[in-house]
Amino acid sequence: MSTILFFAEHRDSELRKTVAELASVAAQLAGKTGGEACGIMVGPGSSELAPQLGKFGISRVITINADHLAAYSTTAYARAVTNLISSRQPRVLLFTASSTGRDLAPAVAGLNRTCVYTDCTRIDLEDSDLILQRPVFAGKALLDIRDTASLAIVSLRPNSFPVREQDTTPVIEAFDSGISTADVQVKVTGFAPLAAARPELTEADIIVSGGRGMGGPDKFATIEALADTLEAAVGASRAVVDAGWRPHADQVGQTGKTVSPKLYIACGISGAIQHLAGMSSSKVIVAINKDPEAPIFKVATYGIVGDLFEVVPELDKELKKLL
């Protein structure tokens, strides 16, 4: 009987999109052991949002709230979660490999003298052995892992696990963080939101991406129109970011973001190894490129050889008919 804890992120009075799959995974693992899947929610608004986790079969949500936990701060949150770990002795603590997850999971691991299994794409429990798989060398290889320790801290790659809905009403329990203002060592003093209201690349279901073939910054309007039709995020190759046409936050690839959308449309992208590293776990890849020898065509589910400035507007038109 193992306790599975998962860290449910929320912002602006909403659960983050990836909480659905995280909760689903936690519920499934707990089901295998006859144990309990408990959501952890920290900060103001936790108790109001906690009932929503019942949609994914979660029977308990532990809320941790205190004035000095109002804003995310690595060490303070890590210590609060560590105090909870001491109290509940979970077998597994799950995070999404989001910005917060990539920051918080290692801090919790350090305080618990263990490591994180980062950005996992597979997870299962066999009795008390935790079976995982995670990409390495930017996805050119996978590590198979069997963890037999008493505590495993895991972050899951976003958009990689199915959501399972099963209605329950969770017990909501408040936990005393045991944290004081002295634990708040890092302070967020500002936040500048991105201009465009598009889905976050790492969470997006559909991404339209532009490479050097776009020819210049103002030419991105062509793929932005397609992205609007599909309610997609817009990505960029490293060449385009290095040329200053698009910000680094848009870069998909080994030194940019790793994405796993349902659909990735690569426009004027040749398909360098480092770019593929960032998007190869896309379920469906469409490639549009003038050069029939472009490496991207080898990984594309559907390839179109042609001028993207002719193909993309036509594709936009055809998709609008269907949507």
Partner 1 sequence: MKIVVLIKQVPDTETKIRIAGDGKHIEETSVTYVINPYDEFAIEAALQLVEKHGGEVTLLSLGSTDSLAPLRTGLAMGADKAILLKVADFRFLDSFSVASHLAGELQKHSWDLILSGKKAVDTDAEQVGSLVAMLLGIPVITSIKNLTLDGSQVTCQRDVEGGTETVTCQLPALLTCDKGLGEPRYPNLKGIMMAKKKPLDEVDLGSGGVSSSITALVYPPQKPGGRIIGEGAAAAAECARLLREEAKVI
* Residues 92-131 within binding reach of partner 1 (CB under 8 A): 98-100, 102-103, 105-107, 109-111, 113-116, 118-119
Please choose, out of 20-28, 84-92, 161-169, 313-321, the segment that lies near partner 1 by the rule CB under 8 A: 313-321
Does 83 bind partner 1 (CB under 8 A)? Our answer is no
Does 225 bind partner 1 (CB under 8 A)? Our answer is no
Does 135 bind partner 1 (CB under 8 A)? Our answer is yes
Does 243 bind partner 1 (CB under 8 A)? Our answer is no
Does 143 bind partner 1 (CB under 8 A)? Our answer is yes
Smallest gap from Cβ 173 to partner 1, in A, equals: 27
Site for partner 1 in 270-299 (CB under 8 A): 273-274, 277, 280, 283-286, 292, 297-299
DSSP string, 262-314: SEEEEES----HHHHHHHTT-SEEEEEES-TT-THHHH-SEEEES-HHHHHHH
Give dist(CA 99, CA 82) in Å, integer: 19
Q: Which residues contact 190 (CB under 8 A, 6 or more apart)?
A: none
User: How many of the other CB atoms lie within 10 Å of CB of 109?
Assistant: 22
Out of 70, 174, 186, 225, which residue is the one contacting partner 1 (CB under 8 A)?
186
Give dist(CA 234, CA 231) in Å, integer: 10
Structure token digits, residue 188: 């967020």
Smallest gap from Cβ 220 to partner 1, in A, equals: 19
Report the 3 state secondary structure along 15-62: ECCCHHHHHHHHHHHHHHHCCCEEEEEECCCHHHHHHHHHHECCCEEE
Does 32 bind partner 1 (CB under 8 A)? Our answer is no
Overall residue count recorded for the chain in this entry: 323
User: How many of the other CB atoms lie within 10 Å of CB of 110?
Assistant: 15
Nearer to partner 1, 89 or 137 (CB): 137
Out of 1, 141, 182, 221, which residue is the one contacting partner 1 (CB under 8 A)?
141
Does 38 bind partner 1 (CB under 8 A)? Our answer is no
Does 185 bind partner 1 (CB under 8 A)? Our answer is yes
